[in-house]
Amino acid sequence: MTPPNALDFLDLDHLLSEEERLIRDTTRGFVADRILPEIAGWFERGELPRELAKELGDLGLLGMHLEGYGCAGTNAVSYGLACLELEAGDSGARSFVSVQGSLAMYPIWKYGSEAQKRRWLPPMAAGEVVGCFGLTEPDFGSNPAGMRTSARRHGGDWVLNGTKMWITNGGIADVAVVWARTDDGVRGFLVPAGTPGFSTRDIGRKLSLRASVTSELVLEDCRLPGDAVLPEVRGMRGPLSCLDEARFGIIWGSMGAARACFQSALAYATTRVQFDRPIGGFQLTQQKLADMLVELSKGTLLALHLGRMKDEGRLAPEQVSLGKLNNVREALAIARAARTILGANGVTLEYPVIRHANNLESVLTYEGTSEVHSLILGQAVTGLAAFT
Binding mask 114-143 toward ligand FAD (x if CB under 6 A, else -) reads: -------------------xxxx----xx-
Measure the CA–CA gap between 238 and 55, rounded to whole angstroms.
29
Q: Which of 88, 167, 176, 191 is close enough to bind ligand FAD by CB under 6 A? A: 167
Nearest residue to the partner ligand FAD, using Cβ = 141
Q: Which residues are catalytic?
A: 367
DSSP β-bridge partners for residue 157: 154
- Strand-pair category, 175-182 with 131-134: parallel
Nearer to ligand FAD, 239 or 307 (CB): 239
Stretch that binds ligand FAD, among 18-26, 287-295, 342-350, 368-376 (CB under 6 A): 368-376
Stretch that binds ligand FAD, among 26-34, 62-70, 324-332, 369-377 (CB under 6 A): 369-377
Nearer to ligand FAD, 212 or 300 (CB): 212
Measure the CA–CA gap between 131 and 175, rounded to whole angstroms.
5
Nearer to ligand FAD, 74 or 168 (CB): 168
With b for 16 or more beta-carbon neighbours within 10 A and e for fewer, the 177-213 pattern comes to bbbbbbeeebbbbbbebebeebbbeeeeeeebbbbbb
Site for ligand FAD in 206-245 (CB under 6 A): 209, 214
DSSP E strands: which ranges in the chain? 131-134, 150-154, 157-168, 175-182, 185-192, 198-202, 214-224, 273-274, 277-278
Question: How far apart are CB 132 and ligand FAD at their closest, in Å?
Answer: 6
Amino acid symbol at 213: V
Q: Determine, following the binding rule CB under 6 A, whether residue 304 of this chain makes contact with ligand FAD.
A: no
Question: How far apart are CB 181 and ligand FAD at their closest, in Å?
Answer: 15
Nearer to ligand FAD, 288 or 356 (CB): 356
Measure the CA–CA gap between 297 and 26, rounded to whole angstroms.
22
Stretch that binds ligand FAD, among 121-129, 150-158, 358-366, 377-385 (CB under 6 A): 358-366
Amino acid symbol at 351: Y
Q: Which of 42, 69, 109, 166 is close enough to bind ligand FAD by CB under 6 A? A: 166
Q: What kind and span of H or E run contains 24?
A: helix 18-30
352 C-beta neighbours (distance < 10 Å), count: 24
With b for 16 or more beta-carbon neighbours within 10 A and e for fewer, the 334-348 pattern comes to bbbbbbebbeeebee
Q: What's the burial of 308, exposed, middle or buried (CB within 10 Å: 0-12/13-18/19+)?
A: middle
Site for ligand FAD in 50-109 (CB under 6 A): 99
The count of chain residues that interact with ligand FAD, using the rule CB under 6 A, is 20
Nearer to ligand FAD, 242 or 334 (CB): 242
Stretch that binds ligand FAD, among 68-76, 148-156, 347-355, 367-375 (CB under 6 A): 367-375
Q: Which residues bind ligand FAD (CB under 6 A)?
A: 99, 133-136, 141-142, 166-168, 209, 214, 362, 365-366, 369, 371-372, 375, 387
